[in-house]
Structure 1
Amino acid sequence: MSQNSPRLDLPFIQQSQAQKHVTHNEALRKLDVIVQLSVASTGAINPPPSPDQGEVHALGAAPTGDWAGQAGKLAAWLDNAWHFVSPVSGWRAWNESQSRLIVWDGSDWADAPIATQNLKGIGISATYDETNRLSVRSSASLLSHDGQGHQLKINKANAGETASLLFQSNWTGHAEMGLSGTTGFSIKVSPDGSNWTDALSFDPASAIASGAAVQNSSDDTTPGRLMRADFGYGPGNLLGTVSANGDAPTGAVIERGTTPDGDYVRFADGTQICTATLKPTSCTASDGSLFASGTDVWTFPIAFAAGSAPVVSGSGSSTSRFMGIDAPSDLQVVYKVFSVNSDPGLHAPALTAIGRWR
């Protein structure tokens, strides 16, 4: 029969043994040390000068003094002497100096393993409940990378559910962003936690933005709203082809063009200006009297609005010449160049017509 138990190494009382109480008490003493084990310190090297009865230390790799040669063992102060016990893999102890549970892994004392899978809930300085199974009360929370990037994933069961971040003040919601009942990303705001406004939403297919924060029509000039590209003007659409739907512009602000008949400018408000420098003409008279060079026609580089009568003015390009303008149509104007003095030079008259294109 073995002299000691296989797990705790407790001494057995042998058959016909004298002074059985000695063996029995030794086993009880050892049980008193290792059952409900609690150690004053771990990795201990130097014995304390005045230990308490029953005080236990988990020794380090190179203990000194009365502990010399007992590396890795448990040292218990019992009846004014140190008693040593070798821990077995799996023994647990309460670390009194650090207030934590430790376990002997066969070579050292380590933190006791903690189950982290399928926990019912976790409360960090807070209490979790069935809805908020992770509750954290803290001045801040940090989620960092593990070498490269980091993603925070919020998943929902189907498109009609919600996957969002809700921002509260004194437990009243005032802002929410995420996927709220659709697969389109949106930002909502509320003054009281009950009445909500979709401030900004993005269509998941086209990425087009909408919502109360965006213009809802071309004449929407609500202060603070974001301007839509098709309702506002910038470097990309300031110049181009002007157009309108009724009185509302639908194209560019300014349109410019050139044809063999001259240049033109159109504005979104309907104004149109045509200019041209025409072929040179000569005005001469043998007697020095008023002389007209003759009648000519200027076809506008682009037509004015049908039935309109643009205002036409011109210059003979010489101080001795002036122009006469007949009633213009929306397509052309008849003009004459006059000279008050004999002027054999060739001068190119200039004409300007101002009217409307719509």
Structure 2
Amino acid sequence: MPVSQNSARLNLPYLQPSQAQKHVTHNEALRQLDLIVQLSVASINATTPPAVPDQGEIHALGANPTGDWAGQGGMLAAWLDNAWHFVAPDTGWRAWDESSNQMKLWDGGTWIDPPVATQNLNGVGIATGSDATNRLSVRSPATLLSHEGAGHQLKINKASTGDTASLLFQSNWTGHAEMGLAGSTGFSIKVSPDGGSWTDALSLDPATGTASGAAIQSSADDTTTGRLMRADYGYGPGNLLGTVSENSGTPSGAVIERGTTPTGDYVRFADGTQICTATLPATDCTAVEGALFASDPAVWDFPVAFAAGSNVAISGSGGGSTRFTGFDAPTETQVTVRVLASASDATALAPTVTAIGRWF
């Protein structure tokens, strides 16, 4: 079996027994070692030879180089002693790309970035250092997380209900605001003046969605400046008109309730005020009542009852300029009305009446 005259890996020429001018073979091997050991190239995927190359300058050629490099695609081209010398890279060779200041790897067909393991890393620091707690650390003006053609979610997961999954906002490494799931499954926002004492500004119940916290009105008479008004404590377009109600003397429904029954109209207010009005059947004033003339007595049933013990005030108009109304003492549900006049008047006119009191 013939003995190879070149090394198996780097194709370096061997010195042969009884070889003349052994220094030529030796120097050729040294020259190849000088080129490929600690390989550094001026460019990657080069196609056009430089006009004035430096001694020892090396280029990693692209697939279709031109000029003096024609037909040498994929080779390493080294300028030595005023001529280009070509060396074929082997799979796995590494070269420092001087043009991009990056390490490159020959994979048998092209120069690629060396593969980097990205699974189960102990930590990653981008422009800063990571540590055991902050295993991913980034120092930059901004951090971009973008979609891949559709939506995008940022997920913060915790092990159990009592743990925390949140975003913490700091100033000079002191926490001043935090939002997320802090010790529960309810979303909350906390604020702090010094990073030590914290106030729950807003908490949302995960089952009902109702809000609580220092930023929310705590009771119907809580008028603290800057607090958000609760729907069940305050009033707005959605509950200004509707059914009024109360709970132990505290309004709990709409602000104004208006209604009509067969015996008149009524208005109820959230503070408990109630006003009833009606136009009674027309009547004359022909019956003698002492020095006056009067209508027959009529009982006005209030459209809605007043509260028990309520002090009901009654007023009315007799229906004409010469008439006036008189009333017996009212109850919570009705009052007796008579129209009076100073002279007999057979004209049938309709009196109007008003009752004011409280519904609670």
Q: Smaller-chain TM-score range?
A: over 0.9
Q: Distance in 2 between matches of 1:142 and 1:71?
A: 40
SS at match of 1:314: strand
2:252 paired residue number: 250
Deviation at 1:285, TM superposition (A): 7.1
1:141 paired residue number: 143
TM-score where L is the length of structure 2: 0.92
Q: CA RMSD in A?
A: 2.0
Deviation at 1:275, TM superposition (A): 0.8
1:168 paired residue number: 170
Alignment of 1:281-300 (within 5 A): 281-284=283-286, 290-300=292-302
SS at match of 2:296: strand
Q: Does 1:65 align with 2:64?
A: no
1:202 to 181, 201, 204: 204
Q: Distance in 1 between matches of 2:232 and 2:132?
A: 48
Aligned length: 356
Deviation at 1:57, TM superposition (A): 1.1
1:13 paired residue number: 15
CA separation of 1:307/1:156 partners in 2, compared to 1, >3 Å: closer, same or farther?
closer
Alignment of 1:331-346 (within 5 A): 331-346=333-348
Matched to 1:82, the amino acid is W
Q: What 5-or-longer segments of structure 2 have no aligned partner?
A: none
1:132 to 107, 128, 134: 134
Q: Does 1:110 align with 2:112?
A: yes
SS at match of 1:237: coil
1:330 paired residue number: 332
Q: Distance in 2 between matches of 1:60 and 1:241?
A: 84
Matched to 2:189, the amino acid is I
Q: Distance in 2 between matches of 1:43 and 1:271?
A: 91
1:2 paired residue number: 4
1:321 paired residue number: 323
Q: Which sits farther off after the overlay, 2-11 or 153-162?
A: 2-11
Matched to 1:65, the amino acid is G
> Percent identity, aligned pairs only?
71
SS at match of 1:279: coil
1:232 paired residue number: 234
Q: Which sits farther off after the overlay, 12-21 or 315-324?
A: 12-21
Q: Distance in 1 between matches of 2:109 and 2:261?
A: 96
TM-score where L is the length of structure 1: 0.93
CA offsets, 1:10-30, max 9 Å, x none? 223344433333223222211
Q: What 5-or-longer segments of structure 1 have no aligned partner?
A: none
Q: Distance in 1 between matches of 2:305 and 2:55?
A: 114
1:278 to 277, 280, 284: 280
Deviation at 1:133, TM superposition (A): 1.4
Instruction: Decide whether the 8 Å contact of 2:287 with 2:296 is kept in 1.
Output: no
SS at match of 1:294: coil
Q: Distance in 1 between matches of 2:54 and 2:25?
A: 24
Instruction: Decide whether the 8 Å contact of 2:287 with 2:295 is kept in 1.
Output: no
